[in-house]
Amino acid sequence: MFIDEVKIYVKAGDGGNGCLAFRREKFVAKGGPSGGDGGRGGDVIMVSSMHYNTLLHLRYNPEHKAERGGHGEGSNKTGADGDDREVKVPVGTIVYDWNTGEQLFDFTEPEQRFVVAKGGRGGKGNARFAKPWHQTPTEHEPGSPGRELTLRLELKLLADVGLVGFPNAGKSTLISRISAARPKIADYPFTTLEPGLGVVQLPEDRSFVVADIPGLIEGASEGHGLGTQFLRHIERTRLLVHMVDVSDITGRDPRKDFKIICNELSSYSEELGGKPMIVVASKIDAAQDPKRVKAVKAIAAKNGLQFLQISSATGQGLEELKEAIAARLLAPAAFE
């Protein structure tokens, strides 16, 4: 199950209490105060990991508490520090304060560490308060509480390229042909119910990551279909590949399909609507009417967009598409 948003509670460990004690040992002259300090409470630390690609493991484990510090003891013994608690999250996770909406951290690389809740300080024992003029202090401090927070975690996939288009435009088939990803493929709408990632390998040790984004239909930016549930996953991409089905089977107008998807992207966010894009006419092996292909080519030219045509079934145009994507990703000027 793909889960990309969860609510969790974190609580750092409280500091241990300071001790009130006096030495009463035989042969020890002028024993005096000997209460030790409390130990520090453990921190709650979030760590990004490549071993996770969903927040599912946190949905069913929403509370994360670090260990409290040990209390101080006599003979000036300091309490043990509490153990830290690590919370593993996938790369691409953004951490928000649930109550204020403030963004606290954005995990963009593996093995990043973020102390989301700091442990409490240990309290001072009475030995700390001894002065020449105050030799039998009874003062001692309780440990300070550890920080506690309710968090909202949101996952945005990290990919170079986002595949967009209507359901059954051929996105899943394409990603299965150009990468090792094996998404579910069938001839009905919303076959793909969750985003998928595929790594495309090219000669000369070149590669890029492609994300298949499901659920785009008219009104998606307002929550229709799978709506905004997955549009966030292409916000980080550098390039969009807009696939338009030009086969005769659907009976749809490819020009209208193109405009609807572009409008949904712009409605979701201005930044998303302005991302660089390659327009791809898909399923050309089933396009008996050449006017459908020409219509998509014309609208791409009108918008100043690169146009390619492919057939994932026959393999036609796939190598050209991969090279075109790689060329755009390696051209910094394309993203200025």
Run of H or E residues at 222: none
Instruction: Give yes or no: residues 228 and 298 share one domain.
Output: yes
DSSP β-ladder status, 113-117 and 44-49:
antiparallel
Q: What predicted TM-score, i.e. pTM, was given to this entire model?
A: 0.75
Instruction: Give yes or no: residues 228 and 325 share one domain.
Output: yes
Instruction: Give yes or no: residues 222 and 261 share one domain.
Output: yes
Long-range (24+ apart) CB contacts under 8 A made by 99-102 are 99/150
At 10 the three-state DSSP class reads strand
Distance between CA atoms of residues 260 and 94, nearest Å = 29
End residue of a domain, out of 155, 183, 201: 155
Rg (CA), the chain: 29
CB 87 within 8 A of CB 61: no
Instruction: Give yes or no: residues 328 and 314 share one domain.
Output: yes
Instruction: Give yes or no: residues 92 and 126 share one domain.
Output: yes
Instruction: Give yes or no: residues 128 and 172 share one domain.
Output: no
Which residues does residue 163 pair with via DSSP β-bridges, in sequence order?
212, 241
Residue 11 CB-half CA count within 13 A: 11
Of all residues in the chain, the percent with pLDDT exceeding 90 is 53
Hey, what are 308's tokens? 């390619």
CB 221 within 8 A of CB 270: no
- Tens of pLDDT, residues 50-69: 888 889 899 999 999 999 99
Distance between CA atoms of residues 65 and 49, nearest Å = 20
- Tens of pLDDT, residues 53-111: 889 899 999 999 999 999 999 989 999 999 999 999 999 999 999 999 999 999 999 99
Q: What is the CATH number of the domain that holds 35?
A: 2.70.210.12
- Tens of pLDDT, residues 27-54: 776 778 999 999 999 999 999 998 888 8
Residue 223 has pLDDT above 90, yes or no: no
Distance between CA atoms of residues 148 and 178, nearest Å = 46
Which residue range forms the structural domain that includes residue 308? 161-335
Distances from the Cα of 61 to the Cα of 6, 121, 211, angstroms: 10, 27, 28
Question: How many domains is the chain partitioned into structurally?
Answer: 2
